[in-house]
Copies of this chain bind each other. A is one copy, B any other.
C-alpha cells in the first residue's frame, strides 16, 4: 500500500505538504504542488479513508435499511437513495431487515461500530423504537422513510396514506362498489394504522358504512393469504365485499393469487386495488390497479434530508415530507379481468 509518506519522500516534502496538496492545494506553492502531484500519479497513491476517518470522525458512509430490497417499492427507494448519496460524495451500505427488529438491531450495531455518518431507514415497525434510540444515543442522524415510529422524533418522508386510500376508494366507488374490504399490514406499523384510519374516513366521505368484518390484517412476513381470502368469501352474500383494498403490493398480489385458487374472477367477482406498483420494469401487460407511491423520490429526497441533517444545513426542527401517490387504473378493478 502506498502511503502519504511514500509520496512525501518521492516528492521531497513532508507528509503534511502532501496532505495539504490534496486538501488545500491553494496553500501550496505552484512548483511544490506539481512535484507532489506527479509523485501521487507515479505511485498511484490513494488516501486511506480509514485513517482519515479516525481523525475527522467522518466516514462518508451512509446506510439504507429497508425491510427487503426484493420488494420493488424498496428497490426504487434504494436506487433513489444511492443516486443522491453518490451526488453528494457518500457511499451506501445496504441492509435488509426482513421486518425483523432483531436483525435490524444487529445491523445498527455494526453500523455504529463502523462510524456511519447517517442512516435512511424504513423501520420494521414500532418495535424499532429501541434501535432508533440507540442511534440517537450515538448521535447518528437518521431519517425515517415510509414508516414513522411513535415517540421517536426525527425527520420523516413517506407517501400520502390519506390521499392514496382516497384515490383508491373513490375509484372503487365510481366503479359501483359499496362493500369494500381492507387487507392491512400489522398495526405495529404506522402505515397500517394510517391506512386503516384513512380507509374509514374515505368510506365515511362516500357515505358507505364500514364493516369490521371487512377489515383484516396479515403479517408482512409469512402471510397466510388463503386463510384471509377464504374468510372473506365465506361471508353470506349480503355481507360479502365486492372489492378489496390491499395495503401493499405483496398483499395485493397474494390476494389475487388466493382468489384465483378459489376460481374467483378478478375483477368480475372481486375487484382488487392496492398500494405500490409491483412492476419495477414498466410493464407491457399491466393488471393491478394501484396507488403508486413515488418510491424513487422517497429515497432520493429522504437521502437529501439526511445529508442536510448530517452536514448541519438544516434547522433543529424535524421535517416531515409527504409525497402524493398516482392512481393507475388497470384491469383488476375495471373491465373483464383475468
A contacts, CB < 8 Å to B? 1, 44, 46-51, 53-54, 57, 59, 61, 68-72, 75-76, 78-79, 82-83, 91-96, 109-115, 137-138, 249-250, 253, 256-257, 260, 278, 280-285, 287, 338
Contact = CB atoms under 8 A, between A and B. Distances in A.
Given A94-B94, A253-B283, A280-B280, A109 B70 contact: no
Contact of A54 (B54, B96, B112): B54
Contacts of A110: 91
A338 B82 contact: no
Given A75-B280, A253-B282, A280-B75, A113 B49 contact: yes
Contacts of A111: 91
B92 A93 contact: yes
B112 A71 contact: no
A115 B1 CA distance: 10
Contacts of A138: 1, 46
A50 B253 CA distance: 44
Given A46-B112, A72-B72, A91-B111, 6 more contacts: A48-B54, A54-B54, A68-B79, A82-B95, A82-B96, A249-B281
Contacts of A46: 109, 112-113, 138
A53 B49 CA distance: 10
Given A281-B72, A282-B253, A284-B260, A49 B93 contact: no
A47 to B, nearest CB: 6
A70 B114 contact: no
- Give the one of A50, A51, A79 with max B CB within 10 A: A50
Contacts of A95: 82, 91
A70 B79 contact: yes
A50 B280 contact: no
20 contacts: A44-B137, A46-B109, A46-B112, A46-B138, A48-B115, A49-B115, A72-B280, A78-B94, A79-B96, A83-B96, A91-B93, A91-B114, A93-B93, A93-B94, A253-B281, A256-B284, A256-B285, A278-B280, A278-B283, A284-B287
Nearest to A94: B94
A96 B61 CA distance: 16
Nearest to A285: B287
A258 to B, nearest CB: 10
Nearest to A83: B96
A69 B59 contact: no
Contacts of A287: 284-285
Among A68, A71, A78, A91, the most chain B Cβ lie within 10 Å of the Cβ of A91
Nearest to A72: B280
Contacts of A137: 44
A53 B61 CA distance: 15
